[in-house]
A and B are shown apart, each in its own frame.
Chain A
Amino acid sequence: MSNVKSLGPERIKELETYIHISKNIVREAYRQFDPKDIRLVWSGNKDSTLTLWIWRETCKQYGYDMPKAVTLEEGDSFEEVEEFLKRISKEWAVELDVASNTDVLKACNYTLDADVEVKLLNERNQKEIERIGFGGLEKFPFEPESYIGNHLMKSVALNTYLEEQKIKIIVQGLRWDEHPVRADDAYFEHIQGEELQPEQIRIRPILHISERSLWDIYHHWEIPFVSLYAQGYRSLGVKSTTKKLAEIPAWEQDLENTCERAGRRQDKEQAMARLRALGYM
């Protein structure tokens, strides 16, 4: 990390304040909930890893027990991310579960773009497909970040895992500046349960940390991160639909004037941002 500039004392103080705010969210969570009832959603990306690091630091400082973490296996992972999760969970002694919609993965024989026959899926997946408006669909190509794929491989995989584990409280590494649709997210959010959507309490400790501050924190406190960010990736999704934004490390890119998620599959993001601008959210 030869290119990382050292930070002035005022900036360090500022970053400490941000971390302090996050730690207070964690402490509030411990006032309300038992860690056994919590899961940290950890994809291995920069946001969820920082969230995990801050959570762990808070636990060390106040003598709390760490909750378990859970990661989603979507069938199209970067090897670098898999290796990172394995290595860091060991180093940090984090108990890590893997949640996956294996029914879909089996149906496409673990192959990208292979057709998934809807009638061969289990009842839950068929119901979920119907719920998002594709009732009557016979088959679809397996792609984890398509509209259907995103729902089945992320939302359904996580919800099913949480239902099985009887867990209602999850921790998410979301940030306000990551995307305009995040701008109104709250540190604590209660999601009412309904059919196919279990009740959830979502805790988001690093909402206020900007992309710039995030990288400054990583470097100043020497927190490990996936090597892909050094190669130019700014935001990590699944392998086949995530692109590098430049050939220089993420933190050397023009973070303030370029779009963090530009290398990600755009359809959903763009549609959501436009709807928001039209006053629909």
Chain B
Amino acid sequence: MRRNVILLTIDACRKDTWGCYGESDLTPFLDSIQDHCIRFDKNYSTGPYTQASFPAILSSSYYLDFGRIKGTCPPGRVLVSEVLKKQGVTTAAFHSNPYLAAFFGWNRGWDTYYDSMEADVSDMQPYVSAWEINKKAGQWLQSQKGKDKPFFLWMHYMDVHEPYIATPEFTKAVDPDLNLTKEEQFALFKDVLLKRDTENKAGIEMLRKIYWSKVHEIDAAIKELFGILSETGHGNDIVIITADHGDEFNDHGGLSHDGKMFDELVNVPLIIYDPSLTKGIATDVITSSLDIPPTVAHLFGIEAAAAWQGQSLLPLENYSRKGAFAESIDKQGVHEKGTEPEVHMYREGDMKIIYRQGDDSWKQYNLKEDPKEQKDIYGNDTTSEYLIKKVVPRVGRYVKK
């Protein structure tokens, strides 16, 4: 049986907002499909923001492999779309993240590349919604009915990304008393989030609830997508769902997703939905978003590109990864300069080490004993020296070259 692959990525979505990963009741639909899913509990993004994480998801490469390049896609990155297309797979993308616009070179290898840059969007919602992405992808899925060629479809939802403006029907489930107008919510974005005002505890709590309501909305959009897949005759296809990075609500003294390396930002959800599975599988092996392109290639029976640095997650019994790296630039953003210091993370076993080049500092956490990463044990643990050796060769490696 020919099976297509759909990759759904959600921008800035924290792992702990998914019911299947914890206490949350925000994602009833995602929770309901777990019997047909392989769930990865320790999947690491390669960075805490889009520019740092998407090179892994789309090209199995790290952010800084090609220097400080402001999110553009250099020719050296081999996109999963390029590999699949060459092997006769139809490729299509529907997203609304400006960092991944065709303009920056991410449209290579896609037969269809919708980046929404021509769409009219507002300051309160500077992207096209998940519902609109569903609609566009739905039309495209319809067009694939009866086609001989298999397809790879990548969709990306921006709705969980700031500015968070809730859709009223989804706020009720989070907090029926959260009656903020759009303008009030936008003011919270501007006055609290953008200013990174971590003193404003009440404001942060409201932002968190609005964020939760956006996650709840996304869950409904995913449900709609699964309906569209069934209606268009693609109900047996494989769906991979993940997030490019998480988001911070003063977990470690910050808001949004700057250059930090704590789990709320880099330990991202990842599930592979396979309707032929009859029992859900959860695995706590450490995996990396780098593994997504080789996994997709594997599902089509296509060989992974030599340049790819990840390995196929499937078959699970053959998978072996020791640890996961992530990297970022301290002051990320469009004003980032070549001189901004780097931040590096390495996770292996229960240990995570973080290096900040800016103040040449190391921090280490034991995630089993200290999952919230509050107690720095660097230097007080026998593994510190080993972990440092893993990270040091990666710091400034582009400059060294």
Chains A and B belong together in one complex: yes
| A interface residues with partner B (beta carbon < 8 Å) | 130-138, 147, 192, 194-195, 197, 266-268, 270-275, 277-281
Tell me if A136 and B127 are in contact (CB < 8 A): no
One of B68-76, B290-298, B382-390 contacting the partner: B68-76
Tally of contact residues, B, Cβ under 8 A: 37
Known interface pairs A195-B338, A278-B162; A137-B104 also in contact (CB < 8 Å): no
Taking CB atoms, residues of chain B closer than 8 Å to A131 are 67-69, 338
Known interface pairs A131-B67, A132-B69, A271-B117; A277-B126 also in contact (CB < 8 Å): yes
Is B98 part of the contact surface with A, judged by Cβ < 8 Å?
yes
In the bound complex, what is the Cα–Cα distance between A270 and B71 (angstroms)?
A: 15
In the bound complex, what is the Cα–Cα distance between A280 and B104 (angstroms)?
A: 16
Taking CB atoms, residues of chain B closer than 8 Å to A134 are 72, 74-75, 105
Tell me if B67 and A130 are in contact (CB < 8 A): yes
Taking CB atoms, residues of chain A closer than 8 Å to B74 are 133-137
In the bound complex, what is the Cα–Cα distance between A272 and B126 (angstroms)?
A: 11
In the bound complex, what is the Cα–Cα distance between A223 and B168 (angstroms)?
A: 53
Q: What is the predominant secondary structure among interface residues of chain B facing chain A?
A: loop
In the bound complex, what is the Cα–Cα distance between A136 and B108 (angstroms)?
A: 15
Tell me if B334 and A280 are in contact (CB < 8 A): yes
10 A–B contacts, CB within 8 A, in A order: A133-B72, A147-B103, A194-B338, A194-B339, A266-B117, A271-B98, A274-B117, A275-B334, A277-B123, A281-B333
Within the complex, the shortest CB–CB distance from A195 to chain B, in Å, comes to: 6
Within the complex, the shortest CB–CB distance from A129 to chain B, in Å, comes to: 10
Tell me if B333 and A278 are in contact (CB < 8 A): no
In the bound complex, what is the Cα–Cα distance between A197 and B194 (angstroms)?
A: 28
Taking CB atoms, residues of chain A closer than 8 Å to B123 are 277
Q: Which of A137, A267, A279 contacts B189 (CB 8 A)?
A: A279
In the bound complex, what is the Cα–Cα distance between A197 and B339 (angstroms)?
A: 11
Is B335 part of the contact surface with A, judged by Cβ < 8 Å?
yes
Within the complex, the shortest CB–CB distance from A190 to chain B, in Å, comes to: 14
Beyond A133-B71, A267-B117, 6 additional contacts (C-beta under 8 Å) are: A133-B70, A133-B74, A135-B66, A147-B105, A270-B101, A278-B127
Binary CB contact string for chain B from 81 to 117 against chain A (1 if under 8 A, 0 otherwise): 0000000000000000011011111000000000001
Tell me if A271 and B337 are in contact (CB < 8 A): no
Taking CB atoms, residues of chain B closer than 8 Å to A192 are 337
Tell me if A281 and B75 are in contact (CB < 8 A): no
Taking CB atoms, residues of chain A closer than 8 Å to B71 are 133
Within the complex, the shortest CB–CB distance from A211 to chain B, in Å, comes to: 20
Within the complex, the shortest CB–CB distance from B299 to chain A, in Å, comes to: 29
Is B121 part of the contact surface with A, judged by Cβ < 8 Å?
yes
Tell me if A271 and B194 are in contact (CB < 8 A): no
Known interface pairs A274-B126, A277-B126, A278-B161; A133-B69 also in contact (CB < 8 Å): yes
10 closest Cβ contacts across the A-B interface? A133-B69, A277-B126, A133-B72, A274-B98, A267-B103, A271-B98, A136-B75, A136-B76, A133-B74, A270-B117
Residue of B whose beta carbon sits closest to that of A146: B103
Residue of A whose beta carbon sits closest to that of B115: A271
Taking CB atoms, residues of chain A closer than 8 Å to B256 are 279
Tell me if A133 and B337 are in contact (CB < 8 A): no
Q: Which of A195, A197, A275, A277 contacts B163 (CB 8 A)?
A: A277
**Residue with the highest number of chain A CB atoms closer than 10 Å, among B74, B99, B127:** B74
In the bound complex, what is the Cα–Cα distance between A272 and B101 (angstroms)?
A: 11
Known interface pairs A135-B76, A277-B163, A279-B194; A271-B126 also in contact (CB < 8 Å): no
Taking CB atoms, residues of chain A closer than 8 Å to B194 are 279
In the bound complex, what is the Cα–Cα distance between A277 and B69 (angstroms)?
A: 21
Binary CB contact string for chain B from 176 to 203 against chain A (1 if under 8 A, 0 otherwise): 0000000000000100011000000000
Tell me if B98 and A133 are in contact (CB < 8 A): no
Tell me if A274 and B127 are in contact (CB < 8 A): yes
Tell me if B98 and A278 are in contact (CB < 8 A): yes
Tell me if A268 and B337 are in contact (CB < 8 A): no
Within the complex, the shortest CB–CB distance from B185 to chain A, in Å, comes to: 14
Q: Which of A135, A195, A271 contacts B104 (CB 8 A)?
A: A271
Known interface pairs A147-B103, A275-B334; A133-B67 also in contact (CB < 8 Å): yes
Within the complex, the shortest CB–CB distance from A86 to chain B, in Å, comes to: 34
Taking CB atoms, residues of chain A closer than 8 Å to B162 are 278-279
In the bound complex, what is the Cα–Cα distance between A137 and B98 (angstroms)?
A: 22
Tell me if A275 and B67 are in contact (CB < 8 A): no
Residue of A whose beta carbon sits closest to that of B398: A135
Tell me if B163 and A279 are in contact (CB < 8 A): yes
Taking CB atoms, residues of chain B closer than 8 Å to A273 are 126
Residue of A whose beta carbon sits closest to that of B123: A277
Taking CB atoms, residues of chain A closer than 8 Å to B70 are 132-133
Tell me if B333 and A271 are in contact (CB < 8 A): no
Within the complex, the shortest CB–CB distance from B84 to chain A, in Å, comes to: 21
Within the complex, the shortest CB–CB distance from B391 to chain A, in Å, comes to: 24
Known interface pairs A274-B126, A277-B123, A278-B127; A268-B103 also in contact (CB < 8 Å): yes
Taking CB atoms, residues of chain A closer than 8 Å to B127 are 274, 278
Residue of A whose beta carbon sits closest to that of B125: A277
